Amino acid sequence: MSNFIHNVHILPKKNHQRAHDLSWEIRDWLGEKGVWAAIYNHEDYSDQFGKEEDTPDIIMVLGGDGTILNVVGKLQKREVPLLGFNFGHVGFLTELDPDHWKHDLEKVLQGEFSISERLVLKYKLIRDGEVIQKGSFINDLVVGRGSLARLVDLSLWTGEEPITEIRADGLIVSTPLGSTAYSVAAGGPLISPELDVLELCPVCPFLKDMRPVVLPSSSVITIRVETPYQGGFLTLDGQTGMDLESGDWIVIEKSSKQMQLIQLSKSSYVQKLKSKGYIDSGKH
C-alpha cells in the first residue's frame, strides 16, 4: 500500500442520496484498509478545514464537475490532490465510475496514479480605486449582460497594451480546462489543458468583429466596464457572481496555486474529447 495516503476527506454532492450513501461505503472500505477517512459537506468545507497539519492527503469528491470546481474554490492556497467520482453529466474532471470503484481505488492506495496540474487564474474587482472583491477561478470568468437584454461595452488590455473595445453580450476569460465549457459554446477553440495559456472569447460581438484570442498565461488581462446605463454581471465558474457598475476594472492574472487532479487512465486528451462528445469520431 502507498505510504502517501493516510488521511482522506470525502465530500459528497449536496442533496444527492446516492452520493451520500456511497460516501459511507467508501469510508468503511478505507477503514478496513487502515486509511482514516471523514465525510464533510462540500459547501461548508472551507469552514471545516483545520490546522495545516490536518490537511488530508487526498480529497474524494462525489459529484459532477461543478462540485469539484466548488471544492477547489474553497481550498484557498492549499493544493490537495482531488479524486472525482462521476455523479454529473459530463464528468470531464471526474475519474472514477461510482458503480465500479473498488478496483480503481485499490490502485490509488497502491500509488498507481499520476497527478495532473491545471492552471488556476486569479482576479480582482476594482471600484472607485478600491479592491472590493478578489478570488480565483478554474474554468472561466464571464463579464456579461445584467438583468436587461442590453449589450455591454468593454475595453480590454494585456499588460499596458490595449487590445480592443467591444460591444457584446459578454466576454469569457477562460483557462484551457474551461475551454470545454461556455467558451466552446461561444465559438472558442478547444485547448489542451497541458498548455500554459488563457483565452479571451467574445460572446456575440456587435458590429466590431473580434475573434477568440489565446495568450500566454503570464499575460495580465484588464477589463474596464464602459457601459453607461448598466454595468453588467460578473460570473465565476458558472457558480457565483455579482453586479458590475460602469467604470469597474477587472484584473486577471495567473495564480500561484494550481488544481491537482488524480488520474488513473492513460487516455489522451483527444480520446477524452471524443468520449465526452466534443469531437465526432466519424464512425457511423
Query: What is the C-alpha to C-alpha distance for residues 192 and 148, in angstroms, rounded to an integer?
Result: 35
User: What CA–CA distance (Å, rounded) separates 178 from 172?
Assistant: 10
Q: What is the DSSP string of 125-166?
A: EEETTEEEEEEEESSEEEEE--SSS--EEEEEEETTEEEEEE
Let me know if 65 is a catalytic residue: yes
Cell of 77: 492556497
Separation CA 45–CA 68 (nearest Å): 12
Largest CA distance in the chain: 64
Using CA atoms, how far apart are residues 175 and 122, in angstroms rounded to an integer?
Answer: 11
Among 47, 65, 153, 209, the one annotated catalytic: 65
- DSSP letter for 189, please: P
For the beta carbon of residue 112, count every other beta carbon within 10 angstroms. Answer: 11
Residues 6+ apart with CB under 8 A from 146: 152, 230, 231, 232, 233, 243, 244
Q: Are 13 and 43 in contact (CB under 8 A)?
A: no
Just list the catalytic residues. 65
